[in-house]
Amino acid sequence: MKIIHTADLHIDSKMETHLDPIKAKERKNELLLSFKRLVDYARTNDVKVIIIAGDMFDKERVSIKTRDYILGVIREYQNIDFIYVAGNHDEDVIISEFDDAPSNLYTFNSKWQTISYDDVDISAIVYNEASKTYMYDTLQLDQNKLNIVVLHGPIEGENAINLNLLKDKHIDYLALGHIHKYIKGSLGDNGVYVYPGCLDGRGFDEIGPKGFVELEIVGGKITSNFHKFARRELHMVEVDITNLDNWVDIRKTISLKLNGIPSTDMVKVKLTGKYNIDLIKQTELLLDSLNDEYYFAKVEDDSKLNVNPKDFENDVSLKGEFIRNVLGSNLSEDEKNSIIEYGIKALLKEEI
């Protein structure tokens, strides 16, 4: 028996934080299509169950066209069961109550429910303020079967799921959602807990490979493997511009850092290090050149101006007088750096 464990699809995300309206719409549609691609993969590979461990939707209000699309896909694949446990983003999206809810869609509430498959039981509960007070005591599992338990929530910090209270519950595989990167850890002597991560990265806080986990049950054991699946990966690289002399050098260094990344992916370049006072970085030009090469690019400048006040003590030029005045002010270091950079551009008659 094969099972897919996914979570945090966040369908209907606006995707407008970084992207222009056209690409935001494209990415929003790509999240919808990723769900269809996932189900197509399941059918092709004889997957019996798809577990969605929370946050299938990004918000409690789901558009009618999105709802119809998701329910239509689920209904089309009657040989696959969909185990959907709501998360903190979509707890109030009760799609099972729609008149046309598919028979192969199983949803859950604040009490434990179990779906049985031969030698495997899948048990789930919506983790919220109410259920977290009693769910550990009320979880009862059959020790003679393989047990998969589905929850959505963090395992650290405020309102965390207490893994210690689940270690002696005969859980073989704890299917979690909420954290947007793949994590696998031990749960007692024989069990594991797994976050599959999100199916697609949406912002640069979700860099790296994204996908799902495929479980296979053979000989009374559960094995699981992460599958990279996202259409586009998000990458973040740091580029030290210390000792670089001009824009061309910066661009070449960036290209080396980004070597091998597909043009269909999204990249964020963070400039670091200390740069010479005469270096004109032209970050807007850097950004334009990267957007010509990749689906989407972002440039963040964290570099610092490398200026020594002693170098300008005896400089009688306008530049020297300007720099001394700025360095002698009560401004913050970042403000001084910005003002000096813009001032040098002005003195060189560069565009500001």
Mean pLDDT for each consecutive 10-residue tract of the chain (352 residues)? Answer: 94 72 85 93 97 83 80 93 83 56 89 94 93 93 94 91 93 96 92 95 91 94 95 95 92 96 96 86 91 95 77 71 81 81 67 58
Instruction: State the pLDDT at residue 79.
Output: 94
> Which DSSP letter does residue 7 get?
B
pTM metric for this prediction: 0.86
Instruction: State the pLDDT at residue 94.
Output: 54
Instruction: State the pLDDT at residue 127.
Output: 92
Instruction: Indicate whether 21 and 80 sit together in one domain.
Output: yes
- Residue range of the domain that includes 210: 2-228
Instruction: State the pLDDT at residue 321.
Output: 81
Is 266 within 8 Å of 232 (Cβ atoms)?
A: yes
- What is the total count of domains within the chain? 3
Instruction: Indicate whether 187 and 292 sit together in one domain.
Output: no
Is 98 within 8 Å of 125 (Cβ atoms)?
A: no
Instruction: Indicate whether 147 and 13 sit together in one domain.
Output: yes
Instruction: Indicate whether 188 and 63 sit together in one domain.
Output: yes
Instruction: Indicate whether 137 and 87 sit together in one domain.
Output: yes
Instruction: State the pLDDT at residue 313.
Output: 62
Alpha carbon distance 14, 18 (integer Å) = 10
Strand runs (DSSP E) across the chain, as ranges?
2-6, 47-53, 81-85, 105-107, 113-117, 120-124, 146-152, 173-177, 183-187, 191-195, 211-218, 221-228, 234-240, 266-272, 274-275, 296-301, 304-305
Instruction: Indicate whether 148 and 259 sit together in one domain.
Output: no
Instruction: Indicate whether 34 and 147 sit together in one domain.
Output: yes
Instruction: State the pLDDT at residue 51.
Output: 98
Instruction: State the pLDDT at residue 279.
Output: 83
In CATH, what number is assigned to the domain containing residue 15? Answer: 3.60.21.10
Instruction: Indicate whether 295 and 317 sit together in one domain.
Output: no
Instruction: Indicate whether 239 and 209 sit together in one domain.
Output: no
Instruction: Indicate whether 298 and 326 sit together in one domain.
Output: no
Instruction: Indicate whether 122 and 206 sit together in one domain.
Output: yes
Instruction: State the pLDDT at residue 269.
Output: 97
